[in-house]
């Protein structure tokens, strides 16, 4: 039966893949995630209703991986700045690429008092000279 008014919850095309999930449709983009970090490779995309049935690498919905061969490098990578090598970081930056000199992926506690002098840090012991 044809109606002149659209019933609530109905559309005029019938090519939806999954009515329970608005993100799944014929134009859904599935990204290869070769390193398994949860971010897909923008250059390796499959478009369709269903995730390709591949064993490895998996396909996911999230794009934007910076380096799909290294699970440690992705848009939420935290870089720690410890320029003086005392084991304490002065700051962190969250980004794909290394921000520069003194930054590494090695997790360091924050709070370096003077990142240009390794002998001054939160565990420095000071003695009174009287």
Q: Could you read off the pLDDT of 67-96 as tens digits, one per residue? A: 999 999 999 999 999 999 999 999 999 999
The mean pLDDT of 1-19, rounded to a whole number, is 66
Q: Could you read off the pLDDT of 34-76 as tens digits, one per residue? A: 898 989 988 888 888 888 876 567 788 888 999 999 999 999 9
What is the C-alpha separation between 45 and 109, in angstroms, rounded?
A: 38
Residue 15 burial by Cβ neighbours in a 10 Å radius (0-12, 13-18, 19+): exposed
pTM: 0.72
What is the C-alpha separation between 112 and 123, in angstroms, rounded?
A: 9
């Amino acid at each position: 039966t044809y109606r002149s008014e659209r019933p609530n919850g109905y559309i005029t095309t019938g090519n939806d893949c999954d009515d329970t999930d608005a993100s799944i449709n014929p134009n859904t983009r599935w990204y290869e995630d070769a390193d398994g970090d949860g971010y897909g490779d923008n250059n390796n995309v499959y478009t369709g209703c269903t995730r390709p049935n591949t064993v490895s690498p998996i396909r996911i919905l999230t794009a934007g991986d910076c380096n799909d061969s290294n699970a440690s490098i992705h848009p939420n990578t935290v870089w720690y700045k410890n320029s003086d090598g005392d084991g304490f970081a002065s700051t962190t930056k969250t980004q794909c690429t290394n921000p520069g000199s003194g930054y590494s992926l090695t997790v360091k506690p924050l709070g370096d008092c003077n990142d240009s002098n390794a002998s001054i840090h939160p565990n420095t012991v000071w003695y009174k000279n009287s």
